[in-house]
Amino acid sequence: MKPTLKSFLTKLTPGGASRPGQVRLEGVAKSSLDMGRNRVVATGAIFSLAFLAVGWRLIDVSVMQPNLTRARHAMPVSALATRAEIVDRNGVVLATRRPIQSLFADPSLIAKPDRLVRRLSRLLPGLKKTSRRALLRRLSDRQRRFVWIARDVPAAIAERIVAMKEPGLEFRREWRRTWPQGAVVGHIVGFTDVDGRGIVGIERKFDRRLNDNTAPLRLSIDIRVQMALRDVIGETVRRFRAKGGSALMMDVRTGELLGMVSWPDFEPSAPGKATVSARFNRNTLGVYEMGSTFKIFTIAMAYDSGLYKEGDRVDARRPIRIRKFSIRDYHAKKRWLSIREVFIYSSNIGSAKIALRAGRQRLQSFLRKLGLMQRPPLELPEVGAPLVPRHWRPVHTMTVAFGHGMAVSPIQLAAAVAGIANGGTWRAATLMKQDAAALPAGRRVVSRATSLRMRSLLRQVVEKGTGRKAEAPGYRVGGKTGTAEKAGRRGYRRNKLLSSFVGVFPIDDPRYVVLVTVDEPKGNKSTHGYATGGWVAAPAVRAIILRTAPILGLRPSRENVDGVPAVQPNTKPGTPPGNSPARRTAPAQPDKRASLAGAGGHEAE
């Protein structure tokens, strides 16, 4: 009988049972089919696990490890990218920003951290030995996802690093704060950290404004004046082998500072390399006993209060003795002196008696009106407060009258002198450019008549007094010298002086105040060994005026254009134009805190 399909299928079914559509394999055929099925299942499982791993990695990167995603794809823009510029009064840039390339790494993608660090150290000199060890430790931590390696990588080196084709290395575009004028404006502008946060100076004071407003911040500083001040004070400090010094110029009508230099100074781009002395702002943080410059205020108070008139005289025949202390005049006239002579001859005795007659309350009130009893409201975080006696006794009234026993900053002194000389209106010193049509209201401190009298006295000090070396041909200068012995633990040190000169020009119609202080100058042959304000600081003020007046548009007057002073000096060769520091048998200690002010001692000129 011919076999049919049904009978064949029946034979393939174990036990002879058969059902339609069912095929049963036996032997080799069955084994081959089972092996193929297992392979398909295994391959499917492998692919499923691979897809699961990839999916988990995506979730880990995007959700579980957001730092890596932000580092590579959504890094926040640095505040420096939009931080506003700082410019001088004429628009010259003092602080700005520039783009840089910074290198970072993902340690989880770095197979051989030690080899990578060795390669990078050959390209990046900034990776010192200790830094390399720290970097290797961070790159070896596979749990990390972001590690900074170097900021501001030069373009040529960046190209070589890219050519290395190292997995895990990437560059990020950042912004860096730069100060094109360098150390010239270091103490004013200050600096920021790498992330753009203001640390010192204007950068710190106006940190929020600079970050929130892209419009430039305009200062009152004139960079041309600033450079002149820096040149002159630097040369003066070097010439007299001084510890340091300061110079500033202020507009007496507005209070604007056109320049302010503290020496030594520092580079704002590398503040870590500067010494503590270099970063210290002598104009704002330093408070000093300013010597005879304070007599400007004593005499102005005497005139303005009505206690003294032009013809009144003061007995300066003998020193003033208070217990074991004595107040003397260096070049004592040993006679009665008019108020004008007390100022021109810089009489300590006369100044002390004038202040004593005025009384403590009147003197304190006058100094307070001039801004000398409180911290000045200057737009810098680095501003020192004056040091005054805690318990003000009669001896303090007398010593403060000639600049001893009370310490103020140069910025305070300049603003006070401006208020006396400009017609009698005090305005706080400012680093912000002012709108001449919308000046803040000033404070009346003396009458116009008193201001005119004081201008006349300041002029006579330069014409025939201790400030003759401040005379600038073509510009009528008035001013006052000051030389103070610095305080020590055991009294005042005769060989440690703070020499200063404050000048006003043109004195007939004042526009500017210039103040120079020199810390611990040493006399030389050209000064016959003297290191007083008349020999050291007055010539510096003269040099500043001659350099800056043409820049500021001031034409020389007809008087003195040929360099011949209106009044010829009547001193013999070798005679100093300013007095040496007057000395007492022992310094009157007004207050322990004032004694430690850092500078000041007895009156000099």
**Does 52 reside within a domain?**
no
> With 80 as the cut, is the pLDDT of residue 324 above it?
no
583: Cβ contacts below 8 Å, ≥ 6 apart = 328, 330, 485, 494, 602
Percent of the chain with pLDDT over 70: 80
- pLDDT given for residue 78 in this prediction: 59
Min mean pLDDT across 33-42, 113-122, 321-330 is at 33-42
What was the pLDDT predicted at 109?
A: 87
Q: Are residues 235 and 214 part of one domain? A: no
Residue 550's pLDDT band (cuts 50, 70, 90): very high
581 half-sphere exposure, CB direction, 13 A CA radius: 28
Full domain range(s) for residue 122: 82-218
- Average of per-residue pLDDT across 277-295: 95
Tens digits of per-residue pLDDT, 134-149?
Answer: 888 888 888 888 998 8
Q: How far apart are CA 392 and CA 38, in angstroms?
A: 104
Least confidently predicted of 29-33, 554-558, 565-569: 565-569
Q: Give yes or no for a contact between 282 and 519, defined as CB atoms under 8 angstroms apart.
A: yes
CATH code (residue 343): 3.40.710.10
250 close to 257: Cβ distance less than 8 angstroms: yes
Direct distance between the N- and C-terminal alpha carbons of the chain, in angstroms, rounded to an integer: 148
Residue 565 has pLDDT above 50, yes or no: no
Q: Say if residue 213 is in the same domain as residue 250.
A: no
| Domains: count for the chain | 2
How large is the greatest C-alpha to C-alpha distance in the chain, in angstroms? 165
What stretches of 158-207 adopt beta strand conformation (E)? 169-178, 191-192, 198-200
What pLDDT sits at residue 58? 57
Question: What is the rounded CA–CA span in Å between residue 280 and residue 291?
Answer: 22
Residue 60 has pLDDT above 80, yes or no: no
Give the list of residues 6+ apart from residue 424 with CB closer than 8 angstroms, or none. Answer: 444, 445, 446, 447, 448, 450, 451
Nearest one of 454, 422, 405 to 290, comparing CA atoms: 405
Q: Which residue has the higher pLDDT, 47 or 17?
A: 47
Average pLDDT, the chain: 83
**Residue 3: per-residue pLDDT:** 56
Arithmetic mean of pLDDT, 72-80: 49
- Residues 6 or more apart whose CB falls under 8 angstroms from that of 504 comprise 252, 417, 418, 421, 455, 458, 477, 478, 479, 510, 512, 513, 514
Instruction: Indicate whether 200 and 336 sit together in one domain.
Output: no
In a domain, 323, yes or no: yes
Calculate mean pLDDT across residues 67-85.
Answer: 57
DSSP 328-367: --TT---SEEEHHHHHHTT-HHHHHHHHHHH-HHHHHHHH
Q: Is residue 311 part of a domain?
A: yes
* pLDDT for the residue numbered 235: 97
Q: Supply the pLDDT for residue 127.
A: 83
Question: For residues 454 and 9, what is the distance between their CA atoms, to the nearest angstrom?
Answer: 134
Are 297 and 374 within one domain? yes
- As given in the structure block, the two tokens for residue 392 are 């003000």
Q: Which has more confidence, 69 or 534?
A: 534
Residue type at position 551: I
Count of all residues that appear for the chain in the document: 605
For residue 569, is pLDDT > 50?
no
Model confidence at 73: pLDDT above 70 = no
Residues 6+ apart with CB under 8 A from 244: 237, 262, 263, 264, 277, 282, 519
**Token pair 């003998």: residue:** 318
Per cent of the chain over pLDDT 90 is 54
In one-letter notation, the amino acid at residue 405 is G
Regarding whether 237 and 114 lie in a shared domain, the answer is no
Q: What's the rounded mean pLDDT across residues 16-31?
A: 57
Q: What is the pLDDT of residue 75?
A: 41
Q: Are residues 361 and 416 in the same domain?
A: yes
Mean pLDDT, range 567-571, rounded to an integer: 37
Which pLDDT value is given to residue 476?
A: 94
> Rounded distance, CA 520 to CA 497, Å?
5
Q: What is the CATH number for 118?
A: 3.90.1310.10
Among 465, 499, 457, 462, which residue's Cα sits nearest to residue 477? 462
* pLDDT for residue 102 is more than 60: yes
Tell me, yes or no, whether 161 and 205 share the same domain: yes
Residue 575 lies in a domain: no
Average pLDDT over residues 281-287: 96
User: pLDDT value at position 515?
Assistant: 98
Amino acid identity at 56:
W
Q: Confirm if 459 and 453 have CB atoms less than 8 A apart.
A: no
Token pair for 166: 């190292």
Same domain, 176 and 284: no
Return the minimum-mean-pLDDT range out of 63-72, 106-115, 190-199, 486-495: 63-72
List, in sequence order, the alpha helices (H) in 176-247: 186-189, 201-205, 207-212, 223-239
Q: What is the DSSP string of 134-150?
A: HHHHHHT-TT---EEEE
Q: What is the mean pLDDT of residues 27-54?
A: 70
The answer to whether residue 320 sits within a structural domain is yes
Domain annotation covers residue 88:
yes
Mutual angle of helices 295-304 and 348-358, in 10-degree steps = 40
Question: What is the rounded average pLDDT of the residues 424-450?
Answer: 93
Structural contact between residues 544 and 230, judged by C-beta atoms closer than 8 angstroms: no
- Block residue for tokens 């783009």: 99
Do 454 and 369 share a structural domain? yes
Write down the pLDDT at residue 278: 95
| Model confidence at 356: pLDDT above 70 | yes
Kindly tell me if the per-residue pLDDT of 30 is higher than 70: no
Measured distance CA(46)–CA(112) in Å, rounded: 29
Q: Looking at this protein, which amino acid is placed at residue 464?
A: K
DSSP letter at 296 equals H
pTM: 0.77
Let me know whether 135 and 182 are in one domain: yes
Q: What is the pLDDT of residue 155?
A: 86
pLDDT digits (tens, 9 = 90+) for 479-531: 999 998 887 666 666 678 999 999 999 999 999 999 999 999 999 988 888 88
Q: What's the rounded Cα separation, in Å, for the pair 433 and 218? A: 6
Is residue 326 domain-resident?
yes
**Helix axis angle, 410-421 to 295-304, nearest 10°:** 30
Query: Left if phi > 0, otherwise alpha if psi is -120 to 50, otherwise beta: which for 426?
Result: beta
pLDDT band at residue 66 under the 50/70/90 scheme: very low
- Residues serving a catalytic function are 292
Beta strands in 348-477 (DSSP E): 425-426, 443-444
Q: Is 41 a domain residue?
A: no
CA angle at 483 for the pair 480 and 485, rounded to the nearest 5°: 160
Residue with tokens 């920021």: 192
- Lowest-pLDDT range of 20-29, 45-54, 531-540: 20-29
When pLDDT is averaged across residues 307-335 and rounded to a whole number, the result is: 87
User: Are 348 and 327 part of one and the same domain?
Assistant: yes
Q: How far is CA 316 from CA 327, 334, 348, in A?
A: 11, 6, 9
pLDDT over 90 at 16, yes or no: no
465 and 427 in a common domain? yes
Q: Which of 75-79, 180-184, 473-477 has the lowest mean pLDDT?
A: 75-79
